[in-house]
Amino acid sequence: MFSFLKQKSKRVYLDNAGATEIGARAKRALTDALSIYGNPSAIHKEGDQAGRLLDKARNICAKILNAHAYEIYFVGSGTESCNLSVLGTYFGFTKNWKLETGNSLPHVIVSAIEHPAVLEPIRHLEKSGKIRVTYLPVYENGIVKINDIREALSTETILVSVMYANNEIGTIQPVKEIGRAIEEWKKENNRTHTDYPYFHIDACQAVNYCNLDVVRLRAHLMTVNSSKCYGPKGIALLYKREGIKIDPINYGGGQERGMRSGTESVALAISFAEALNEAVELKEKESARLRVLRDYLKEEFTKNISDITFYGAFDDMKIQDTRSKKQGGDDDSTTNNEERITKNELRLPNNINIRVPGILSDEMIIRLDAKGFAVSHKSACASAESDGSYVLEALGASRDEALQNIRITLGRSTSRQDLDNLVKAIKAIKEKFSH
C-alpha cells in the first residue's frame, strides 16, 4: 500500500576526482557575495566594495600557498591555468630570449600521464614544430623517477610540468624532489631561480590532501582548481612566482595585472577561497579517515573479486636519487643516495583504480549508475573519447585492459556502508554480465 511513497534509495557519489559538491562554507560565501555586484576594477563605492572582497579572496589563497598576494592570478578553470602555464611560458620565452645553441627548439619535459589540460597545449606546440618534448615514463607504479628528469634537463629546457597527483590513479609524484633537482641543475649551470627552466605543478587533485607550500615545493607555477576542493566551478588560480616571465594567452582589459583579461567573478573567487581554507583545515583528519576507508575497500575487493587488478602504487617504494652526499644544508638535504617515500605519500587517500576483467568501463559505469553509484574511469575531460586510458597504458596495461577500468574516488560523505554496498554491486554485475 502506498508503494509510490517509498523513499528513493540513496545515491552514492564516488567521483570526487571529477568534481566535488560545493561545501557549506563555500556555498554560504557564494550566496553572500552575490549582492556585491560592482566591477572590481571600478573606482566608485560599489567597485571598491567588490575589489576589497576580491583582494580578501586573493589574500586567503596566497596565505594557504605561502605566496604573496600579487603572485596569485584568478582564472576560469584548471584547464585555463594549465594552458596559461604552458603556452604563456613558450610565448614569454620566444619573445624575450634566444637559445644559446642557435637553431635548436625550446625543450619541454612532461610526464606521460599528465592531464589533457597540460598535454594538449604541449602536443599542439610540438605538432606545430615549435618545441621539442621529453615525455617522462612512469613505470608500472605510476611514479616518475628523479634521475629521468635530471638526465632530460638541457640548456634548451624552458619548462618542466609534472602533476602533484594523478587524476586517474591517484599516485603522488615527488614534486618537492623534482623542484630541488631543477634548482640544483640551475646552480650547476650558473642560472638563477627565475631563469629557465620553470617548474609547473598541476595541483588540482592534490589540493585536499597534500602540502601546497610553493616555497617548499620550489614551484615557479602552480595550478589549483576550485571544483576539486568543494568549491564552485568556473574559478581556479595560477600561482606565478615573482620574477617569472610568462605571456598572457587572452587579451582585453588587462585584469589580473595583465595576465588574464576579463571582469573577475568576485563571488566565485571568495567562495573558492573559503573552500580552499576549509580543505586545509580538514586535510589531516579527512586524509586519515579516507585512507582507512580506501584500504578497507581494497581489502574487500581482494576478498570478493579474485581476478581484480589495482593500478598505481600502494606500498612503500624507493625513489632512486644519485645526488652526491651533502654536509649540512637545509632540512631538505639528504646524506643518502636514495630517498624514501612513505606509504602515505604514494597515493591520494581517496583514490582506487581497478579493472574487473570481462566488463568494459562504460558498461560497468552505466550498470553501477543504475544501482545508485556514481563512478568514472578516466578524466571527465576525456570521458567522451572511445579510447582506453592512456594513463593505464603508460603503466603497462594493454589497450584492451585500459578499456576495462573504473576509478573510484571517495569524499567527505563516503561511509563504510557505501563501500560495502559498492563491492556487492560490482561483484553482482561481474557475475551476471562478465564476458
Which positions are catalytic?
381
Q: Are the C-beta atoms of residues 140 and 395 closer than 8 Å to each other?
A: yes
Stated as kind and residue range, the H or E segment containing 112 is none
Residue reference for cell 627565475: 194
Close Cβ partners of 31 (under 8 Å, ≥ 6 residues apart): none
Cα–Cα distance measured from residue 305 to residue 285, given in angstroms and rounded to the nearest whole number: 30
Q: Are the C-beta atoms of residues 142 and 314 closer than 8 Å to each other?
A: no
Report the side by side order of strands in the sheet with 107-111: 72-75, 236-240, 221-225, 198-202, 157-161, 107-111, 132-136
- DSSP for 269-314? HHHHHHHHHHHHHHHHHHHHHHHHHHHHHHHHHHHH-TT-EE-S--
Cα–Cα distance measured from residue 365 to residue 125, given in angstroms and rounded to the nearest whole number: 35
Cα–Cα distance measured from residue 304 to residue 356, given in angstroms and rounded to the nearest whole number: 11
Q: Is the dihedral of CA 79, 372, 416, 4 positive or negative?
A: positive
Cα–Cα distance measured from residue 203 to residue 307, given in angstroms and rounded to the nearest whole number: 33
The 3-state DSSP class for residue 222 equals strand
Q: Are the C-beta atoms of residues 268 and 226 closer than 8 Å to each other?
A: yes
Look up residue 195 and give its three cell numbers: 631563469
Close Cβ partners of 413 (under 8 Å, ≥ 6 residues apart): 13, 21
